[in-house]
Amino acid sequence: MNTENYSQTASFIWSVADLLRGHFKQSQYGRVILPFTLLRRLECVLAPNKQKVLEAAKQHHNRPDAVREQLLLRESQNDFYNASSLTLATLSDTQTAEDLISYVQSFSSSAREIFEHFNFEEFVLKLAEADLLYQVTQQFGSKIDLSPDNISNYGMGLIFEELIRKFAESSNETAGEHFTPRDCVHAATSLLMTGQEEVLSPNSIITIYDPTAGTGGFLSESEEYIQSISEKVTVKLFGQELNSESYAICKADMMIKSQEVDNIKLGNTLSNDQLAHEKFKYMLANPPFGVDWKASQRVVNDEHKVKGFDGRFGPGLPRVSDGSLLFLLHLVSKMRDTRDGGSRIGIILNGSPLFTGSAGSGESEIRRYLLQNDLVEAIVALPTDMFFNTGISTYIWILSNAKKPERKGKLQLIDGSEAFAKMRKSLGSKRKYLTEENINELVRLYGAMEETKNSKVFPNEAFGYRRITIERPLRLNFQASEERVALLDDEKALQKLKTDDFNQLKQTIQRINADTLLTSRDDFTKALNAELKASDVKLTAAQLKAVLNALSERDSDADVCADKKGNVEADAGLRDYENVPLTEDIYEYFEHEVKPHVPDAWIDESKRDEQDGEVGIVGFEIPFNRHFYVFEPPRPLEEIDADLKQCTDKIKQMIEELSA
C-alpha cells in the first residue's frame, strides 16, 4: 500500500467524525477515533491466535493472575493478549457500553493501561448516552481492515500520523505542539545512522532514546532503518512523553513491535527524567518549537544551581520562553562514555538555537559548551513548510562525542532548503516534502564533507567571538540658561528639597551669567560652588550631581570630564560593543577597525570573561544563512525606468479613454 492509500485509509477512519457531529465537540473527535483505531489494530494483530488464547484462558482461569498472564502471552505469541470472545465486529446493537468496557478490560495489563490514558471508558459511556456506540463499533469492526497483512507497522505509523494531524487541527493545537512528519523523521534518522554499519554488526545490542517520544515515530523509524541494515541486531527502544494520548499510541506501537513497553515513560522529561541513570547509543528528538518551560522552571533552575555540570544543565539556561536547548542538553547528558563507543544525537530545532542570545547569555553559553567540547558534527537546513502546524525554518543537528578523525574540531553546515518536492495537496501548513532522492542527496553531502555550493565546513572556533566594550570620553558643556534651569524640576534627587530651599537654589544658580557657555566641568563647578557658598546653600553629593546633570549637554568640542584622580570618565550614551572573532587579536582588531573612526575610544578592560579571565565576554553563534547568502545585483536603472514609463503610459491612456 503506498502513502496515498494510507492517507485514504486515514481519511476513511476520520469520517467517523460525521457520526459524532452534534453530539461531541470538534476537539473531542480524536479522543474517540484514536483509541478505537488502536483497539481495532490490536484485535487485528491478535486475531490469528485468538482462539488459542480463549482456550488457554478457560483452562487456566483458576491460576494466580501473574501465572495466568504468562501462559496467555505464550499462546498469543505477542507481548499482549485479550481473553474476551468479543470483537468490535461481533458486538451487537443489544449489547451495552459495559460489554465493550469488559472487552477492553480483558486485555493484558500493559494494553489496558493504554486505554486508561485515553479515558476510553468515559467516551464509551458518552457514545452510549448519544445512542452512537453500536454505529461506531460497527464502522471500525466491519469496514476497517487494520490487519498486519493489509497494513504494515510502518503504514500504521503513517495512518496514526494523519489521524493525529487531523486531531491537532480540530483541537487548535499551537505551532509547537506538532507531530513530526515521516519524511523529516526519515531524513534525521538517515543522517544519524550514516557510516554506522560497523557499529550495527550482527548480534550487537543497540539502544535508541527519544525524550519527546510523541507517538513513537522516531523510535519506529530508527528501528526499521537498523533492521534494514542488519536483521540480527537487537534494538531496544526507550522514550518519555508528556501527552497522555501520544504516550498511549507510542506504547501500543511498541507493544505491536514486541518492544519492552515499560521503557516508554509518561511525564515531563525536563522536570522528571524517568530514565535518569540510563545512557544511550543513539538519540533522536523533535522537541516542541518555541514552547516555554515555565512548568519546569523551579526544578530546572535548582538542578542548574545545585548540580552544575554534574547535572544536565551545567552550561547554562536559555530564556524561559523557549526550552529547545534544554532538551538538547538533556540528550548530551545521556551520551555514553567514549570508551564505550560514545553516542550520536539527531535533533530537529527551529532557527533560534543557532543565534538567539548575546555573549554571556544562557543560549550562547550552551553553544559555547557544545562547540568547545567538539560535540556538533553537522547542521542541516530543511525547507520551510515541512510541518503540519507551522511553516518556519527548521534544522537537523547531528552531534557525536566520538567524531571520526576527519571531523574533529569541525562543524559542517548543509543547506537543504531547496531540496524538496511540492505536495499535490497541502496538509495543514505542510506544503513540501522530502523525496527519497532529496534525503539521499543530503546524506551524500554529509558523508562527503566537502566544500560545495550547499555544504560548508568550518573550524569550531569560527563561530566564536569576544564581545568587547568600547568606551568614549564624556564631554559636556555647561550653562545656567533659563531652559536648563527649568530642567532642575525633573531631577529626582532635588525633589526631596523643601520648596523654599529649592527656590533659593534656583535663584543662586541664576546669578551665574546665563549667556556664558563653559566647556569645562571643573570651571563650571568652581563657579557654581562659589555662588552656593555665598548664598549658604548646602547640597549633598547626589544633589550637586543632579544640578550638573540638568545644566549640561553633550558637546564633542568640550573638554574631557575626569574624576578626582584624573581618570577619564566614560560616556554611557556613547558606549558601544564590538564582536571580535576568536581567531583575531582584540587589540589588533581595535586598532584597525575602531580607532580610525573614533580615535579617542578605548577598550574597557574590566569587562572580562568568567571562564578564561581574558578581556571581553566570549560568545558563540551560528549565522547559518550568512554563509549561504548569494548576492543578487539589482536590476539596471534603465530597465526599472522603462517599466515605470510603461506603467505611467498605460495609466495615462486609461485616463484619456475615460475622459473621451
Are 127 and 190 in a shared domain? no
What total of structural domains would you count in the chain?
3
Q: State the DSSP string of 484-552.
A: HHHGGGG-GGGTTS-HHHHHHHHHHHTTS-TT--BS-HHHHHHHHHHHHHHTT----HHHHHHHHHHTE
Alpha carbon distances (Å) from 95 to 50, 51, 133, 137, 142: 21, 22, 10, 11, 16
Residue type, 39: L
- Give the pTM: 0.83
Looking at the fold, whether 221 and 356 belong to one and the same domain comes out as yes
Tell me whether residue 581 is in a domain.
no
Q: Are residues 78 and 187 in the same domain?
A: no
Query: What is the domain range of residue 322?
Result: 182-463
Cα torsion at 267, 269, 275, 281 (round to 10°)? 130
Task: Out of 171, 201, 227, pick the residue that ends a domain.
Answer: 171
CB atoms within 10 A of CB 205: 9
Same domain, 157 and 262: no
Classified as helix, coil or strand, 376 is: strand
Domain boundary among 429, 463, 497: 463
* 113 and 188 together in one domain: no
Are residue 368 and residue 255 in the same domain, yes or no? yes
pLDDT at 171: 60
We report the CATH number of the domain holding residue 271 as 3.40.50.150
Q: What is the pLDDT of residue 463?
A: 97
pLDDT score for 174: 44
177: three-class secondary structure by DSSP: coil
- Annotate 566-588 with DSSP letters as a single string: -PBPB-GGG-EEEEEETTS-HHH
pLDDT of residue 253: 81
Same domain, 489 and 458: no
> Is residue 309 located within the same domain as residue 441?
yes
Q: Are residues 490 and 547 in the same domain?
A: yes
Q: Which of 76, 17, 8 is nearest to 43 (CA)?
A: 76
**Residue 643 in domain:** no
Are residues 148 and 274 part of one domain?
no
Pairing relation of β-strands 282-285 and 205-210?
parallel
In a domain, 569, yes or no: no
> What pLDDT shows up at residue 333?
97
Whether 630 is in a domain gets the answer no
Spatial contact of 618 and 579, defined as CB atoms under 8 Å apart? no
Q: What pLDDT is attached to residue 280?
A: 97
Task: Judge whether 591 lies within some domain.
Answer: no
pLDDT reported for residue 178: 47
In a domain, 572, yes or no: no
Q: Residues for the chain: how many in total?
A: 660
Give every residue of the chain whose pLDDT is below 70, as ranges.
Answer: 1-4, 168-179, 660
653 within domain boundaries = no
pLDDT of residue 548: 95
- Decide: 250 and 216 in contact? Cβ < 8 Å: yes
Q: According to the model, what pLDDT value does residue 170 have? A: 66
A 10 A CB-CB count for 633 gives 5
Rounded CA-CA distance 133/91 in Å is 10
- Measured CA to CA, the distance from residue 392 to residue 379 in angstroms comes to 16
Same domain, 375 and 226: yes
Beta-bridge partners for 608: 615, 616
Look at residues 501, 527, 554 and tell me which one is the last residue of a structural domain: 554
**Looking at the structure, do residues 283 and 391 belong to the same domain, yes or no?**
yes
Instruction: Tell me what pLDDT residue 638 has.
Output: 85
Please name the residue ranges forming H helices in 380-520. 436-448, 482-486, 499-509
Whether 582 is covered by a domain: the verdict is no
HSE value, Cβ hemisphere, 13 Å, CA-based, for 75: 22
